[in-house]
Amino acid sequence: MISRLEALCLEKGLKMTGQRRVISQVLSEADDHPDVEEVHRRALLIDPRISIATVYRTMRLLEEAQVIERLDFGDGRARYEEAGADHHHHLIDTRTGRVIEFSCSELEAIKERIARELGYRIVAHRLEIYGVPLDEEEGKK
């Protein structure tokens, strides 16, 4: 039972160590956007001798290998998610920290058009929406 990410690492010819296998598994099983500390915490449950430095190194390696994506939700730390899934963006509930994913082809098209009009080819982009639930608002009135 090798994880999706482990398979990807093998394809890319990365040396597979025990800790990389564990971290790959953690990331393959994650359906959220964990930060490094959280990945480390989950990795320790599988193998209690993985150091945080190795998690940092591995996250960077996987990011450079394009198998995971680094996100930034405005607090100081980097969040990660498996790459390759459908392109999407995030709406962050500022009250609870809950993250909702969304995608919108119109948005992507407009963004492409804007870059083209400005004479640029897009190499990356980021879009995040921070919000509060509408129903909580009603409650206040």
Partner DNA sequence: ACTAGGAATGCGAATGATTTTCAGTATTAT
Partner DNA sequence: ATAATACTGAAAATCATTCGCATTCCTAGT
Which residues are near Mn ion by CB under 5 A?
81, 101
Compute φ and ψ for 65, nearest 5 degrees: -80, 0
Q: How far apart are CA 109 and CA 4, in angstroms?
A: 30
Least Å from the CB of residue 41 to DNA: 13
Binding of residue 132 to a second copy (CB under 8 A): yes
CA dihedral 101, 134, 127, 26 (to 10 degrees): -30
Binding of residue 1 to a second copy (CB under 8 A): no
Least Å from the CB of residue 33 to a second copy: 16
Binding of residue 58 to DNA (CB under 7 A): yes
User: x/- site string to a second copy, residues 78 to 107, per CB under 8 A?
Assistant: -------------x-xx-----x-x-x-xx
Rounded to a whole number of angstroms, the CA Rg of the chain reads 18
- CB-based contacts of 73: which residues, under 8 Å, 6+ apart? 33, 79, 90, 92, 99, 128
Judged by beta carbon, residue 2 or residue 132, the one nearer a second copy is 132
Interface with DNA by CB under 7 A: which residues? 14-20, 35-36, 49-54, 56-58, 60, 76-78
